[in-house]
Structures are given as structure tokens and as C-alpha cells.
Amino acid sequence: MNGPDRLPLVVLISGSGSNLQALIDQVAAGLPAEIRAVVSNRPGVRGLERAQAAGITTRVLDHQAFPDRESYDIALATVLEDFQPQLVVLAGFMRILSPAFVQRFRGRMLNIHPSLLPKFRGLHTHQRVLDAGEREHGASVHYVTEELDGGPLILQASVPIEPGDDAEQLAAKVLAKEHIIYPKVIRWVAEGRLTLQNGNVILDGNPLDGPLILKNNGNPLP
């Protein structure tokens, strides 16, 4: 995974790490990135095993050992800086980050959320989508800002909601899309094509008016 032209990144997780695994697989297939570390706020989760199996350094920073969010985030920032990432990748990291932490890594931190933002921010999106009678659902990759699930959108992918779908079935369909769009966005960063400038998403030198949408042929289009 090492190399002078690879984007150094750190992945933050809280659970199974399926998006982490998709990223590990893409790096092995040629994505020009170096996963320098995987950091979890929970010990003993499957994502740590995935990282260790791939030979990636892991750290556990248990949030329960800290008195408040601010002190945890200070410690987390210190851990991250040890690895000097150019990009911080949130992959199922179930923590709300403090404004000071977000500001420290502004423009260098991505998140993936299981809904078509700005709809259904927060938790339990699959059941909420069903309860609302929506006809489609999906996933969104965005830059992280102080606003929960509210940062500038980059790329989305949608799935139809079929009659009889339950929350678990819908989650599986959305997760499959997540595994496609997250590595794609990280590749854009690694190739120098994607940046955040003055709050605007810039791709190939042009500002995005809204998120790109992954079409069925795999190509993202406005």
C-alpha cells in the first residue's frame, strides 16, 4: 500500500467495517491510496479484524473512557495527526464530531450516509424512508461540516423501493451502492480531481451545483 503517489488516509469506524472492506479491496485493485490506519471508538468490532487481516495498523480510542465529546475529539485528533493523513474517511463512525475537530480537518474529511440527503439525516434511515412512503432511497457521499449530515454533497446513488421491501432488505441494497460510490469519490480525491474550496465542491476545476448521481451504467452524471 505504500508509494509516493498514493493518498494517505485514515479510516474511522464503529462497527462491521463493510465500507472499509470495499476500500481495502479497491486499494488492492489499484486505487491510489494508502490506508495508514483504522481507528475505532469501540473495541472488538469486526472492522478492526478486517483491517488487521489486511495488514493495516489499528487503534482503539474508546469514547467511554472520556468525560465528554471535546476531550475525546482532542485525543482523536492527536491519534490522527500521528499518521499524517491527507484525508479522513468516516465509514460507519457513529460519533457526532465537535466543531473544533471538524474545523481542524475541514476539506479533508468525508462521510457516507445511507439516504438521499438532505432527506433523512441522522439514524434509522431505512425504516424512516419506508414509514414516509418514499419510492426511492439511496446513499450520499459528502464533505463533513459542523452540521450533522449537512456538508456539501458530492455523489449519490439511488435504489428503488420495491413492494414488500423491509428495512433490512433496503439496507442491503443501499449498502451495495455505498461500496461503489465511496471508493469512487476517494479516487477523485487521490487523483487531485476533487477539492472543497470556500465551501464549494470542485471537480475537475468546476464547481458542482448539486451532487452527481451514479447512473445504472456506473457513470456519475449531474
User: Which residues are catalytically annotated?
Assistant: 113
> Would you say residue 137 lies in a domain?
yes
> Would you say residue 120 lies in a domain?
yes
What is the average per-residue pLDDT within 91-108? 96
> Would you say residue 13 lies in a domain?
yes
> Would you say residue 2 lies in a domain?
no
Structural domains counted in the chain:
1
Print the domain residue range for 151: 7-221
> Would you say residue 156 lies in a domain?
yes
CATH number, domain of 212, equals 3.40.50.170
pLDDT digit string, tens, across residues 162-200 = 999 999 999 999 999 999 999 999 999 999 999 999 999
Task: Tell whether pTM > 0.75.
Answer: yes
> Would you say residue 52 lies in a domain?
yes
Contacts of 37 (CB under 8 A, 6+ apart): 10, 11, 56, 57, 58, 59, 79, 83
> Would you say residue 193 lies in a domain?
yes
> Would you say residue 92 lies in a domain?
yes
SS3 labels along the chain: CCCCCCEEEEEEECCCCHHHHHHHHHHHCCCCEEEEEEEECCCCCHHHHHHHHCCCCEEECCHHHCCCHHHHHHHHHHHHHHHCCCEEEECCCCCCCCHHHHHHCCCCEEEEECCCCCCCCCCCHHHHHHHCCCCEEEEEEEECCCCCCCCCEEEEEEEECCCCCCHHHHHHHHHHHHHHHHHHHHHHHHCCCEEEECCEEEECCEECCCCEEECCCCCEEC
What is the average per-residue pLDDT within 44-57? 98
Q: At residue 217, does pLDDT exceed 90?
A: no
Lowest mean pLDDT among 103-117, 179-193, 202-216: 202-216
